[in-house]
A and B are shown apart, each in its own frame.
Chain A
């Protein structure tokens, strides 16, 4: 069974600083990987996804993530955060193949931005 670990429950960064949110997954083959963002009181919005190919993927709002198979990681990065990036971020893993529609989500990382 697949699993996801987000080791940081809460991260605080200054506006304009760089950001890296960690995600480690467990899955026997090459997974599908996702990062979602949830603004307060809202549903989840897809930031980016990795299915195959280039291991560095670009997403919306200036975010990127890098798939590292050797480390079973898919960390999310942004070079300069904005106050509007304050939200909760979820990493998710899915299995490749027909009939594998379910995602397994991490427990989330809450991001606080200080002026």
Chain B
């Protein structure tokens, strides 16, 4: 079975902090994705990566950056966390169109 893991299930950070969310997949997938999920808005794509060191902006990249130094690991970085970044963050990976999701990280910024 494909396994996608995220470093934290729950995270509480203060405004202005630098925040790292980590995602690891164990199936040698080329593609990895970061989404944020908010009530009534569904899943919105922040960034995705189609290869090591390659990335592409999604629909809402502002305030976020990403890093993919190894194929299995994709990190989402909030350079200076703000309260409007309080959300559920979901990581996914795929080798084609079918995506496999991690359990999510619920981030609260106070």
Contacts and interface: CB of A to CB of B under 8 A. Distances in A.
B50 interface: yes
B4 A101 contact: no
B98 interface: yes
B43 interface: yes
A105 interface: yes
Contact of A101 (B50, B90, B104, B106): B50
B94 interface: yes
Contact of B41 (A41, A94, A96, A107): A107
A42 B97 contact: no
Interface string A26-52: 000000101010000111111001000
A114 interface: no
Contact of A90 (B31, B43, B104): B43
Given A43-B4, A44-B90, A101 B41 contact: no
Interface in A72-115: 90, 94-96, 100-103, 105-108
Contacts of A44: 43, 90, 92, 101
Give the interface size bracket for A toward B. 20 to 34
B97 A100 contact: yes
Counting chain B residues whose Cβ lies within 8 A of the other chain, the interface size class is: 20 to 34
Contact of A49 (B58, B98, B101, B103): B98
Interface of A: 9, 32, 34, 36, 41-46, 49, 90, 94-96, 100-103, 105-108
B96 to A, nearest CB: 7
B85 to A, nearest CB: 19
Interface in B3-25: 4
B45 interface: yes
Contacts of B83: none
Contacts of A43: 4, 90, 101-104
B74 interface: no
Contacts of A96: 97
Contacts of A42: 103-104
